[in-house]
């Protein structure tokens, strides 16, 4: 499936975070990502974290497609890249789609790390053909189980939903609207001139909140707000 290799001295790291629906947020994946990069001592810029709210069942993920294209272009220029995923399922829920995407990236020279499963880390040099085969087997099994889990979950949800609806149960939490955005967030965004990085915007917002004795917002919440603000 791919040739594992030693990590080069200079590697540019990227991360992809995906939620399947607009009602979900990025917080859990952000926490797992932050825990991993702190443990590994990896420098990961906010600008290199791509967040997207799209289903993983098909290829209708424009931001992920753009990221794949960018990684391949950088590799072609001799800039080594590594993509971090907190779960293999973030790459996709379809067995074949995930396999094709994995092969496309690794064939271009991009390393991939799945933080929730250490064996799926192409930065590590495999000790012979046995380890390469083992990694391929693990990838195939996990990928297959991910697709099966999705199908089973869909069946359970549909059955449970039908029963609940018949009892008058309403689903989903209140959808966040632009009018729900904190005024501190809106003030900073309105005063932004377009040259600020996402990190500096978040720092400015949290600075305002601290001065008002309010709780800071996480990077995941910031991205949720930003996506809503720009919609």
Q: Is 1 helix (H, G, I), strand (E, B) or coil?
A: coil
Burial class (CB in 10 A: 0-12, 13-18, 19+), 124: middle
pLDDT exceeds 80 at position 86: yes
pLDDT at 74: 95
pLDDT at 64: 93
Which of 110, 139, 168 terminates a domain? The answer is 139
Higher-scoring residue by pLDDT: 160, 209: 209
Q: Is 210 helix (H, G, I), strand (E, B) or coil?
A: helix
Count Cβ atoms below 10 Å from residue 206 Cβ, excluding itself: 18
Average pLDDT over residues 215-226: 85
Q: Say if residue 79 is in the same domain as residue 193.
A: no
Asked, for residue 1, whether it belongs to a domain, the answer is no
Contact call for residues 86 and 29 (beta carbons, < 8 A): yes
**In which domain, by residue range, is 194 found?**
178-229
Asked, for residue 162, whether it belongs to a domain, the answer is no
pLDDT at 193: 82
CATH number, position 27:
3.40.50.1390
Domain count of the fold of the chain: 2
pLDDT at 125: 58
pLDDT at 117: 82
Which of 12-16, 87-91, 106-110, 222-226 is predicted most confidently? 12-16
Lowest mean pLDDT among 32-41, 63-72, 160-169, 211-220: 160-169
Q: Say if residue 124 is in the same domain as residue 50.
A: yes
Average pLDDT over residues 219-226: 85
Q: Which helix (H) or strand (E) holds 130?
A: helix 129-166
Residue among 151, 150, 83 at smallest CA distance from 121 = 83
């Amino acid at each position: 499936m791919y040739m594992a290799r030693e990590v080069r001295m200079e590697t540019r790291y990227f991360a992809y975070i995906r939620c399947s629906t607009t009602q979900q947020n990025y917080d859990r994946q952000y926490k797992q990502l932050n825990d991993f990069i702190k443990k590994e001592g990896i420098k990961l810029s906010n600008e290199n974290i791509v967040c997207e709210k799209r289903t993983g069942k098909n290829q209708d993920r424009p931001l992920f497609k753009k990221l794949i294209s960018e990684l391949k272009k950088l590799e072609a220029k001799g800039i080594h890249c590594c993509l971090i995923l907190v779960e293999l399922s973030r790459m996709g829920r379809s067995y074949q789609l995930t396999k094709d995407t994995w092969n496309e990236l690794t064939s271009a020279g991009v390393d991939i790390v799945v933080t929730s499963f250490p064996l799926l880390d192409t930065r590590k040099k495999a000790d012979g053909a046995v380890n390469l085969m083992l990694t391929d087997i693990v990838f195939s099994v996990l990928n297959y189980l991910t697709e099966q889990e999705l199908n089973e979950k869909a069946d359970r949800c549909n059955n449970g939903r039908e029963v609940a609806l018949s009892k008058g149960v309403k689903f989903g939490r209140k959808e966040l609207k632009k009018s729900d955005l904190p005024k501190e967030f809106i003030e900073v965004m309105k005063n932004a001139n377009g040259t600020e990085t996402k990190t500096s915007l978040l720092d400015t917002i949290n600075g305002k909140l601290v001065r008002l004795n309010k709780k800071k917002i996480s990077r995941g919440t910031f991205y949720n707000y930003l996506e809503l603000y720009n919609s």
